[in-house]
Amino acid sequence: MPRTLDDEGPFYKLYPEGLIENFDGRHVPTPHFLADNDTDLNRNFPWSWAAEPQQVGAGAYPTSEPECRAVVEHVTRHPEVFAWLNLHTFGGVFIRPPGHCPDAKMDAEDLAVFRQVGQWAETLTGYPMVSGFEDFLYEPEKPLHGDLIDFGYYQRGAIAYVCELWDLFKQLGIARKKPFVDHYAQLTRDDLLALARWDETHNAGRIIRRWRGATHPQLGAVEIGGVDPRVGIWNPPFDVLGGICVQQSQAFLRVAAMAPSLSIAKLEVKPLEGDLSLVTVTVQNDGYLSTAGLASAKKLPWNEPLTLELKGDGIATVGGDGWREIGHLDGWGRGLYGGASLIFQRSRGNLGTRVVEQVVRGRGTVQVRVGACRVGWVEARVEVGSGGQ
């Protein structure tokens, strides 16, 4: 227990396991960044990266670590990645962008989509979804730099968010705090006693370990024991893992169902004079999201618009080369509280459909190909010059 004015003792110094670097035999420094590696991989991604000392664990430069570089290179080669779930432990909470500014400065359409994802997530898992900036800064007004979900959202245009698995605080009966991050630092003595009781009753005593004597190579006679966080704090008890996996799968499958769905809905041919034909292509997006993904993702330079290619052996296009840029197609989804409401019943225009016409000369098979790097390509074929479709 942390010491208070009313405690009579005995009192102890509590140190983590390990050796003291540069120990002079008398002075024990305050432990700092106790990790096997100096770099925190979740502070090494390129978006908003900042060097030490501004950001602890930043690494020498963005993607200086091969693990981070591999992730960045992979998703850059795969622009179709539109949803990104980063699993951590612990807390029982989903954390979404923005991580560097309040929600008022976030793209309003993006925020509505994240609200919808958050509603599904809380319904299916019991975990709330909170803003990284408003609910999960370790120091007020001091954003974290170089984290994965901001990279995924701002640079890759993905619905990127974190889940801190295992709702230990809820299991202990602790009321939800605002900001959520206060759960980790503002535990009372009653909360710690509740943890001990829960550990004994529901966790086979894996957390609270008895103290026993030992000899430290630098400090001499010590006691080891106390809190072992591996099962029960950092990770859930083994017997609840299956249920957590089921809940998380259900929640993320909802997000997967928001994917754009490009199709050639209709392909028609109208014979004209001589060997001319008019080919009419109706391109459609039946998905929840736009073919660009999130609204803000349209601005990303790599997120190229849809193009349509029309060609065929022995077929010549008239008044063009058969290549058209047709832009992105809207999705039907609006997120949660994204504009449409009972009071203001109005749809957006039919921006999820595009009709393209092309006159061709000749007889044979016309191949139509539509797509972009974000959504892939769809193809269809039609015969022309034979009196109709």
**18 in a domain, yes or no?**
no
Tell me how many domains the chain contains.
2
Looking at residue 82, which CATH number applies to its domain? 3.40.630.10
Last residue of a domain, one of 222, 256, 290: 256
Location of structure tokens 């041919």: 269
Kindly state the helix (H) or strand (E) to which residue 137 belongs, with its residue range: none
Domain boundary among 191, 221, 256: 256
Over residues 286-341, the pLDDT tens digits come to 999 999 999 999 999 999 999 999 999 889 999 888 899 999 999 999 888 876 66
CA distance 133 to 248: 23
How far apart are the C-alpha atoms of 151 and 49, rounded to whole Å?
10
Q: Does 366 lie in the same domain as 236?
A: no
One domain, residues 318 and 202: no
User: 342 pLDDT exceeds 70?
Assistant: no
Q: Are 43 and 63 in contact (CB under 8 A)?
A: no
Q: pLDDT for 258-297, tens place per residue?
A: 999 999 999 999 999 989 999 999 999 999 999 999 999 9
Quote the pLDDT of residue 18: 86
Same domain, 316 and 187: no
Q: What is the pLDDT of residues 189-207, one digit of tens each?
A: 999 999 999 999 999 999 9
> What share of the chain in percent tops pLDDT 90?
76
Contact 191, 199 (CB under 8 A): no
Same domain, 117 and 237: yes
With a cut of 80, say whether residue 140 has pLDDT above it.
yes
Residues 187 and 327 in one domain: no
Do residues 108 and 175 both lie within one domain?
Answer: yes
Residue 15: inside a domain, yes or no? no
Mean pLDDT for the stretch of residues 221-230:
93
Domain that holds residue 358: 262-337+348-384
Torsion of CA 50, 55, 57, 62, to 10 degrees: -10
Contact 44, 59 (CB under 8 A): yes
pLDDT higher for 50 or 346?
A: 50
pLDDT, position 340: 63
Would you say residue 155 lies in a domain?
Answer: yes
How far is residue 333 CA from its own chain's centroid? 19
Does residue 267 form part of some domain?
A: yes
| Closest alpha carbon to 320 in 288, 293, 357 | 357
Do you find a cis peptide bond into 179, omega within 30 degrees of 0? yes
Q: Which residues of 309-337 are buried (b: 16+ CB within 10 A; e: fewer)?
A: ebbbeebebeeeebebebebbbbebbbee
At residue 361, does pLDDT exceed 60? Answer: yes
Asked if the structure places residue 372 within a domain, the reply is: yes
Mean pLDDT on 66-91? 96
Same domain, 76 and 216: yes
Confidence at residue 389, expressed as pLDDT on a 0 to 100 scale:
42
Residue 19 within any structural domain of the chain: no
Beta bridge partners of 130: 95
Show which of 256, 281, 302 is a domain's final residue.
256
Helix (H) or strand (E) holding 69: helix 66-77
| Nearest residue to 152 via CA among 296, 253, 8 | 296
Q: How far apart are CA 193 and CA 206, in angstroms?
A: 15
Instruction: Give the distance, in angstroms, between the CA of residue 160 and the centroid of all CA atoms in the same chain.
Output: 2
**Residues forming beta bridges with residue 268, ordered by sequence position:** 280
Look at residue 35 and tell me if it is in a domain. no
| Identity of the residue numbered 33 | F
Residue 136: both structure tokens together:
């999960």
Burial of 185 (0-12, 13-18, 19+ CB in 10 A): exposed
CATH of the domain at 299: 2.60.40.10
Instruction: Kindly state whether residues 54 and 180 are assigned to the same domain.
Output: yes
How high is the mean pLDDT of the chain?
Answer: 92
Question: To which residue do tokens 């490009």 refer?
Answer: 262
273 and 227, same structural domain? no
- Tell whether the model's pLDDT for residue 388 goes beyond 50: no
Q: What's the CA gap between 59 and 68, in Å, rounded? A: 11
Tokens 């390990």 found at = 18
How far apart (Å, rounded) are the C-alpha atoms in residues 353 and 351? Answer: 5
Same domain, 233 and 358: no
Residues 357 and 226 in one domain: no
Claim to verify: residue 378 and residue 238 sit in the same structural domain: no
Q: Report if residue 361 sits inside a domain.
A: yes
